[in-house]
């Protein structure tokens, strides 16, 4: 673990294994921390806060810029580590490392864009000054599906704002987190400013993060159930909270759209990271006049996808994170099949040959999906594309909005008026219009409803780590 500028073991001296989800091989060991380690990390962050928060924005900017340089220089090693530890194909890992580095350089600049303002008074002998100040010690909990970019998306703005941080990375991908901390340490981050606690059981760490009064903000990316639980506990200390949670994204193909173009986009997006992305499309609404051409194209595309170890040439879909993830998807697909869904491509667990020791599920297309099927309501988080045929253009927005989630949505249309009406009508935080990658470090990312609170990235990202302080001056 990394506490107060030092690499340290857990207080109790225990470790847990880290495995490759494609092969089952043990690829490393990490300290198995507990509550006492989380407290030690908060001690260090709290002690470092005063000095760090008093550094200039230019000093913080230079440090983040140096971290960006180092991450860029080490991009290939980081990508290979991510593929081995998390499983995604090497091409996707390279793209994620670049995305992660983008947050460092973006917030290196945003550090210098934190502005205050003079405000008017009714009294001629009074002046008001409003400024932004760092919120304090930040506790962060990050997921396994994007094990490097989800760290920098939180650490970049927190450090730029002048906050100190304690991070608990996902137990499935702590080696990637360690590599990120090596980048920051080599960039010259002072002792105590960033701290990392690893653990096989996240619960004791989360309990400390949400109960220690020195922690002023909690930021979490993960499941809706865990996010709600952490936010409820954080309320006891009135901690600032930002949570980016699950999704159930609709993908709407309007009758004027090119169904072949839309199907190519859906196939590229749905099977990215083996479908293990919170913005992955889970409900593909295709107008009945175009569903035939759409299904033909997406089935051709998905049928050609190669599943396997992400380091192997030609592999487009890697393993799932663990066996429980495969079992969940198996159950959803079987439920849909029993209720009348077609399964023209895939449909089952892969267990033969090179797949035998890993957690693989065949890239799958389901057709004739109906609202009584589990997959229509539940987030899948796997390589399954459920296609839903619809006939009423006026009702498809209502169908898309019929969910408690509100993270991402996608629209394919050739008419600007249709695109604008869909953009205005869909109750989701991120909407791609003929675009399967509507994200960037320079734009806000976050959801509505059960998909979370707050925004990361863009100009809004740093505001999550700032408080407003107002001074009234009698002169």
Residue given tokens 């409900």 in the structure block: 283
User: Among candidates 99, 65, 61, which has minimal Cα distance to 82?
Assistant: 99
Check if 17 is active-site.
no
What strands lie across the sheet with 281-287, from one edge to the other?
342-345, 364-367, 384-390, 281-287, 249-253, 408-412, 430-433
For residue 220, what are its two tokens?
Answer: 């979490």
Place of tokens 């003079």: 118
- Which of these is catalytic: 244, 379, 456, 464? 244
The one catalytic residue among 85, 110, 163, 278: 278
Residue 8, token pair as written in the block: 């340290």
Residue 57's H or E segment, with its range, is helix 57-73
Is 163 a catalytic site residue? no
d(CA 232, CA 207): 11
Residue 273 φ then ψ, to 5°: 55, 35
Distance CA(96)–CA(437), nearest Å, equals: 13
Where b means 16+ CB within 10 Å and e means fewer, 76-107 reads: eebbbbbbbbbbbbbebbbbbbebbbbbbbbb
Q: How far apart are CA 178 and CA 200, in angstroms?
A: 15
CA distances 200 to 34, 242, 300, 364, 395, Å, are: 9, 24, 41, 32, 46
Active site residues: 244, 278
């Amino acid at each position: 673990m990394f506490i107060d500028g030092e690499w340290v073991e857990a207080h109790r001296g225990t470790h847990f294994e880290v495995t490759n989800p494609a092969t089952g091989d043990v690829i490393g060991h990490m300290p198995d921390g507990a509550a006492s380690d989380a407290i030690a990390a908060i001690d260090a962050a709290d002690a470092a806060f005063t000095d760090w928060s008093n550094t200039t924005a230019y000093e913080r900017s230079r440090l983040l810029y140096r971290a960006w340089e180092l991450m860029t220089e080490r991009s290939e090693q980081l990508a290979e580590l991510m593929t081995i530890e998390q499983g995604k194909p090497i091409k996707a890992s390279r793209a994620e490392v670049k995305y992660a580095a983008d947050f460092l350089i973006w917030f290196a600049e945003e550090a210098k864009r934190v502005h205050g303002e003079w405000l008017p008074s009714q009294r001629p002998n009074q002046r008001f000054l409003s400024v932004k100040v760092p919120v304090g010690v930040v506790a962060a909990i990050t997921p396994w599906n994007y094990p490097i970019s989800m760290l920098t998306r939180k650490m970049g703005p927190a450090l730029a704002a002048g906050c100190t941080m304690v991070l608990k990375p996902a137990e499935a991908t702590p080696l990637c987190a360690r590599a990120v901390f090596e980048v920051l340490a080599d960039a010259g981050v002072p002792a105590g400013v960033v701290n990392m606690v690893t653990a096989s059981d996240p619960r004791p760490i989360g309990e400390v993060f949400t109960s220690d009064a020195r922690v002023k903000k909690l930021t979490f990316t993960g499941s809706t159930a865990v996010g709600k639980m952490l936010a409820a506990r954080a309320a006891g200390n009135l901690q600032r909270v930002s949570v980016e949670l699950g999704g159930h994204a609709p993908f709407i193909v309007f009758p004027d759209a090119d169904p072949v173009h839309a199907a190519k986009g859906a196939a590229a997006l749905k099977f990215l990271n083996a479908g293990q992305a919170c913005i992955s499309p889970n409900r593909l609404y295709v107008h009945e006049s175009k569903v035939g051409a759409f299904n033909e194209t997406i089935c051709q595309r998905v049928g050609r996808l190669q599943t396997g170890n992400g380091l192997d040439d030609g592999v487009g879909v890697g393993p799932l994170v663990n066996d429980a993830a495969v079992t969940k998807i198996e159950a959803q697909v079987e439920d849909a099949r029993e209720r009348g869904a077609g399964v023209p491509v895939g449909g089952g667990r892969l267990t033969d040959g090179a797949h035998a020791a890993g957690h693989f599920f065949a890239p799958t297309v389901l057709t004739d999906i109906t609202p009584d099927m589990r997959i229509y309501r539940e987030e899948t988080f796997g390589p399954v594309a459920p296609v839903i045929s619809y006939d009423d253009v006026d009702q498809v927005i209502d169908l898309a909005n019929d969910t408690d989630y509100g993270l991402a949505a996608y629209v394919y249309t050739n008419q600007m008026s249709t695109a604008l009406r869909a953009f205005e009508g869909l109750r989701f935080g991120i909407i791609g219009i003929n675009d399967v990658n509507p994200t960037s470090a320079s734009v806000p990312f976050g959801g509505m409803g059960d998909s979370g609170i707050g925004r990361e990235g863009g100009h809004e990202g740093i505001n999550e780590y700032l408080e407003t302080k107002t001074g009234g001056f009698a002169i």
